[in-house]
Amino acid sequence: MGHLKHLVIPKFKEGVVVEEIMKGMEKLVSELDTVKSFEWGKDIGSQEMRRQGFTHAFLVTFQKEEDFTSFLDHPSHVEFSPTFSATIEKIVLLDFHAVLGKAPA
């Protein structure tokens, strides 16, 4: 099995300053050795009909499921979660073992 991926696709409430939330997320993942990598980005302009108000995506990679569980239970994550949740109107969360279809160049 591949690495465990934690994909978060939020629809932020109106008026949320996403950059402030990102500072908190980047601080959180930098403190945790169980996080193998963290990536995020903003939609580049998909048709509103298709993105349905979801504007950002976050991808956290873990070596194994135990690392993901440790991340969820870590005091820093537990402390940050209510702050993040308060900014969200809707959210899609997917946790999956990655299957490599093509290796990076």
Fold of 4-97: Alpha-Beta Plaits (3.30.70)
Over residues 34-75, the pLDDT tens digits come to 999 999 999 887 676 677 889 899 999 999 999 999 999 999
Residue 53: the pLDDT is 83
Residue 49: the pLDDT is 65
- Residue 58's identity, in one-letter code, is F
Residue 103: the pLDDT is 84
Question: How far, in Å, CA of 16 to CA of 87, rounded?
Answer: 6
Report DSSP state, residue 74. Answer: S
Question: How far, in Å, CA of 16 to CA of 86, rounded?
Answer: 10
Domain boundaries, the chain: 4-97
Rg (Cα) of the chain, in Å, rounded? Answer: 14
Question: How far, in Å, CA of 69 to CA of 105, rounded?
Answer: 31
Over residues 9-26, the pLDDT tens digits come to 999 999 999 999 999 999
